[in-house]
Amino acid sequence: MLRYMAFFSPKIGIDLGTANTLVYIPGRGVVLNEPSVVAISEIDKRILAVGVEAKAMIGRTPGEIIAYRPMRDGVIADYRITQAMLRYFIGKAMGRFQFFKPEVMISVPTGVTSTERRAVVEAAIRAGAKNAYVVKESVLAAIGAGIPIQEAHGNMVVDIGGGTCDVAVISLGGIVASTSIKCGGDRLDHAIADYIKKTYNLAIGDKTAEDVKIAVGSAVPVEDELVMHVRGRDFITGLPRSAELKTNDITKAIGKELREIVKAIRDVLQETPPELASDIIDRGIMMTGGTSLLRNFPELIFRRTGVKAQVAERALYCVAEGTGIALEHLDTYKKAIIAKR
């Protein structure tokens, strides 16, 4: 009977990211992990595909089809398409129970404005949610990483996704000092593509740049370099060609973006009250999000700040799992919840 009642008010947590959207259902875990991409027909503005299918079309579509990312830098860039994307993800996650309207909790970047927050809540309601809660990504990442945020101790969380890097110091369930910069995995990919263009006169796509970052990228120079052959179009001849890339080439290519992320961490550390700063030195910095998985990232942060850093066990899923835990314990985390409708 209780299980039957639970379906009357199902709960869904959504990590609405610039690169990927993850959907978490309490009791079932992460049920969906798909790219935040929508394919649209230019002729009649019809939505042709969402998620994995749409991402496969990027860079490969005919002129009348556009593969589009409706989220930019962690916030809604196109309201109508985000709404359609949310409806698709909610429907797919609910499956045969989609005639019950779910309660939805969505993550937003730490630096989000009240207007952007309202747009997320509105889009979720119109996509079929009964209630929509909005919580800052840093708080959810901390919850998902297993940090006891309700305690009177300082914990620093650095959540680096596709579009944003959120840095926050959390104590007693609230954010004490924070910043959010529009620098994440996408910026690193563009920097790699630009470097290959300038150094090798070779044009590559975003997908190839991302593959290079994952395969051979590192945050600090290394002695034993990894090597990858990358294929693209020669800028001079216009013909296909390949080039050999090494780890330290990529470290050099993304240096500026990594310095920006480190600066954000240093800025928050400088704003942190002394007592909490002492806790952070003891406990270290917790890193979450897909971009934190870049090789030797904790080492770079330690070199630049003097504070040890570690990547969370399930860094990719921390925010999504945080939404699920917060949904199951709404009363405990009510201080962290910003907006509800």
Q: What is the pLDDT of residues 10-69, one digit of tens each?
A: 889 999 888 889 999 988 889 999 988 888 888 887 888 888 888 877 766 676 788 888
pLDDT confidence tier of residue 2, bands split at 50, 70 and 90: very low
Instruction: Calculate ∠ Cα 272-135-79, nearest 5°.
Output: 125
The DSSP bridge partners found for residue 41 are 65
Q: What is the pTM of this model?
A: 0.87
- pLDDT tens, position by position, 239-262: 999 999 999 999 999 999 999 999
State the average pLDDT over residues 158-173.
93
Supply the pLDDT for residue 226.
95
User: What value does the mean pLDDT take over residues 109-129?
Assistant: 85
Question: How confident is residue 7, by pLDDT bands cut at 50, 70 and 90?
Answer: very low
Average pLDDT for 316-331: 87
> pLDDT tens digits for 55-70?
877 766 676 788 888 8
Which pLDDT value is given to residue 341? 47
If you search the block for the tokens 């850093």, which residue do you land on? 309
Question: pLDDT (tens digit, 9 = 90+) per residue, 284-314?
Answer: 999 999 999 999 999 999 999 999 999 999 9
The pair of three-digit structure tokens given for residue 275, joined into one six-digit string: 């007592």
pLDDT-above-90 percentage for the chain: 52
3-state secondary structure of 100: coil
Residue 6: pLDDT over 50 = no
How large is the average pLDDT for residues 189-207? Answer: 94
pLDDT of 105 strictly over 80: yes
Torsion of CA 183, 188, 189, 190, to 10 degrees: 70
Please report the pLDDT score of residue 9 as a whole number: 67
Percent share of the chain, pLDDT over 70:
92
Which domains are seen in the chain, by residue range? 2-36+71-139+318-340 (3.30.420.40), 149-312 (3.30.420.40)
CA angle 328, 141, 7 (to 5 degrees): 25
pLDDT digits (tens, 9 = 90+) for 260-283: 999 999 999 999 999 999 999 999
- Report which of residues 237 and 79 the model is more confident about: 237
Give the contacts of 99 (CB within 8 A, at least 6 positions apart). Answer: none
Q: Which pLDDT band, with edges at 50, 70 and 90, does 234 fall under?
A: very high
- The whole-number pLDDT of residue 185 equals 93
Question: How does DSSP assign 97-133, residue by residue?
Answer: GTTSPPEEEEEE-TT--HHHHHHHHHHHHHTT-SEEE
How much is the pLDDT for 310?
Answer: 96
Residue 204 has what pLDDT? Answer: 94
Write the single-letter amino acid at 165.
C
Q: How far apart are CA 213 and CA 228, in angstroms?
A: 10
Using CA atoms, how far residue 299 sits from 14, 37, 104, in Å, is: 31, 33, 37
pLDDT of residue 298: 97
Q: Report how far Cα 183 is from the mean position of its chain's Cα atoms.
A: 11
Overall average pLDDT of the 129-148 stretch: 90
